[in-house]
Each structure stands twice: as structure tokens, then as C-alpha cells.
């Protein structure tokens, strides 16, 4: 039985004018660390909201460990630990009180030891008795993670958990989540940080305009799609034939190359255009390259035609 199963899920808004999800189907196996990626507006939040039972699909079916998220809402929700994107919390309680209240909500009692462990693992021990109002944004985010995990859910859903979060918390969070994953918890992560997704997720789905456009093991996506990247810095204007295929960030230029002769051809074009190149390096394509390639709908194989 899959941990999460999306079956032909669709979602429309405004009486069908906006199609946020258009026939999304995939399963996440138990124990997977799964990443859901997509640009702004692709439909990630819509999909997570349906999974969480916060909004209803316009069509299709979603199950968590075999429990339908609509027909069997309570069981599905109990199986999920959801770390929301927004900082929502009750300002009147202390950190520990809020965790106890959340436990009660799931009918869990006498879990003080687990609450202590959560506080410790998330670096919140010395804030246990602090009022939620007094916490910084990063600390509140840690509490949201603790709240999501208080009932030891088998499936953990993290919706952009590291947006605006400092390096220390990211590391603390990922170490802890990776441990829970090793212990058997399934993890579903949405993020805009592609390095995190590349480092953490065994398998990835990419959403574009409400449809799945890629679904594969992370290593296969990296191997199969993009190839080698030529990276350099320049102050000069790129020759026109390279502009279309280059990714330019300030002075940094990245161009895809498939093999050594491709690299030679690229350098020849640059030399002929008297384009001065600094800090030249040739590296492996990363998930960002693959992501952009898929989102731009470029054909998988496209060499230099110089």
C-alpha cells in the first residue's frame, strides 16, 4: 500500500476558469523521501491542501495509507504530519502547552518524553516555557515542525519549510527529518531550494501548470536530462547564437554542452566573437539545470550548432 496516492486529481477555481491541477496521478511509497517541485503557480499548494483535507479536489481521489482524505478524513489526517508554509500559531500559549494541546487534538496522551525529544532535536529546549508571542520567526517555524510531529505521524509533509530560514535551522531540521526518514517515516517535501531537493529526495515529481511533467528518481533525472555545463564569467555581450541557449545570472554564464567537442565548439564561437572569458569551468549539470530545461520545455538533446 502506498503512503500517499494521488489518482487523477484535478482542481479548478472560480467556477472552472482557473485549472490549478489537471489530472495529477502518482504514488509515494512508504519510506520514500519524495520531492514535489514546480514554479510559482504550478499547483503544489493546491495539491498539498487537498492531501491535508483543507480543500476538496474537483475530481479524482487522494489516499493516505489507504485512507481516503475525504471519506476517511480523520484516519487520513492522523497519518499525516503537516508543516504548513505560513506561520500560524496561537499566541496565548507557551511552546510546551501548544504541543500538549496539539497532542490532545490527535487524542495522544502521556507523550511528554517525545515532546522533550522534539524540543531537544529542534533546538527549542530553552524556549519550552516561552510564550509563542515572544519567539522569533525562525523559532516559531521550529514549533510548527514540532507540532506537526507530536503524534508521530507515519507521513510527514513539509510545504516549503525552509523559506526564509537561516542556515542553522535548515541543518537542524534536515538532520532530524533525515533521521525520521531512516526510521521509516515517509517524507513529502515541496521546496524552491533545488539544492535541498537534490541532496535529500530519492524521487522527484515536477509540476507545471497543474500537470506532472517529470517523475523519476533524482539520480536518473540528473543523468538522463541535462549533461555537462560550461560555466564562465564575462563582461562582454554573448554572441547571438549562444544567447538563446545560455543561462545568464549577472556576469555568470552557463551553457549546456554534451561532450568535449561541444565544449570546443562553444569556445570557438566565443573566441571568434572576441568574448573574453574568466573563471572557466566545466561541471556536471545540477538539478537547477534539469529543472529549467524541463520547465522551459526544451528538447532533451540539443547541441551547439556552430
Query: Under the rule (CB under 6 A), what is the footprint of ligand ATP?
Result: 13-14, 18, 20, 38, 40-46
Q: How far is the CB of 260 from ligand ATP (least distance, A)?
A: 38
The residue (of 46 and 254) whose beta carbon lies closer to ligand ATP is 46
Residue 114, C-beta contacts closer than 8 angstroms, at least 6 positions apart: 150, 152
Task: Judge contact between 188 and 4, C-beta under 8 A.
Answer: yes
The residue (of 12 and 131) whose beta carbon lies closer to ligand ATP is 12
The residue (of 192 and 231) whose beta carbon lies closer to ligand ATP is 192
The residue (of 88 and 113) whose beta carbon lies closer to ligand ATP is 88
Distance CA 188, CA 157 (A): 5
Q: How far is the CB of 147 from ligand ATP (least distance, A)?
A: 21
Distance CA 228, CA 139 (A): 40
Q: How far is the CB of 296 from ligand ATP (least distance, A)?
A: 17
Q: How far is the CB of 41 from ligand ATP (least distance, A)?
A: 4
Q: Which residues pair with 49 in a beta bridge?
A: none
Distance CA 181, CA 88 (A): 25
CB count, 10 Å around CB of 66? 13
Q: How far is the CB of 173 from ligand ATP (least distance, A)?
A: 19
The residue (of 35 and 38) whose beta carbon lies closer to ligand ATP is 38
Q: Closest Cα to residue 250, out of 265, 231, 228, 266? A: 231
Amino acid at each position: 500500500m502506498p503512503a500517499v496516492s494521488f489518482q487523477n486529481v484535478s482542481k479548478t477555481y472560480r467556477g472552472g476558469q482557473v485549472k490549478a491541477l489537471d489530472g495529477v496521478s502518482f504514488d509515494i511509497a512508504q519510506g520514500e523521501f519524495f520531492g514535489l517541485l514546480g514554479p510559482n503557480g504550478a499547483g503544489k499548494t493546491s495539491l498539498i491542501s487537498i492531501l491535508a483535507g483543507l480543500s476538496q479536489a474537483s475530481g479524482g481521489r487522494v489516499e493516505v495509507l489507504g485512507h481516503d482524505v475525504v471519506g476517511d478524513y480523520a484516519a487520513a489526517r492522523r497519518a499525516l504530519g503537516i508543516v504548513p508554509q505560513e506561520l500560524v500559531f496561537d499566541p496565548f500559549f507557551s511552546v510546551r502547552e501548544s504541543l500538549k494541546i496539539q497532542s490532545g487534538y490527535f487524542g495522544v496522551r502521556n507523550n511528554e518524553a517525545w515532546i522533550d525529544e522534539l524540543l531537544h532535536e529542534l533546538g527549542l529546549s530553552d524556549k519550552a516555557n516561552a510564550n509563542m508571542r515572544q519567539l522569533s520567526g525562525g523559532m516559531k517555524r521550529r514549533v510548527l515542525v514540532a507540532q506537526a510531529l507530536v503524534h508521530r505521524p507515519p507521513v510527514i509533509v513539509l510545504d516549503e519549510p525552509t523559506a526564509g530560514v537561516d542556515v542553522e535551522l535548515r541543518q537542524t531540521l534536515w538532520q532530524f527529518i533525515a533521521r525520521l526518514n531512516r526510521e521509516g517515516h515517509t517524507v513529502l517535501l515541496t521546496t524552491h531550494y533545488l539544492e535541498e531537493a537534490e541532496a535529500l529526495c530519492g524521487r522527484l515529481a515536477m509540476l507545471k501548470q497543474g500537470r506532472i511533467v517529470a517523475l523519476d528518481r533524482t539520480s536518473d533525472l540528473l543523468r538522463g536530462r541535462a549533461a555537462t555545463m560550461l560555466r564562465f564569467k564575462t563582461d562582454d555581450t554573448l554572441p547571438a547564437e549562444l544567447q538563446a541557449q545560455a543561462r545568464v545570472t549577472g556576469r555568470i554564464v552557463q551553457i549546456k554542452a554534451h561532450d568535449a567537442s561541444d565544449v570546443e565548439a562553444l569556445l570557438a564561437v566565443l573566441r571568434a566573437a572576441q568574448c573574453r572569458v574568466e573563471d572557466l569551468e566545466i561541471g556536471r549539470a545540477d538539478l537547477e539545470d534539469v529543472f529549467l530545461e524541463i520547465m522551459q520545455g526544451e528538447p532533451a538533446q540539443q547541441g551547439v550548432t556552430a
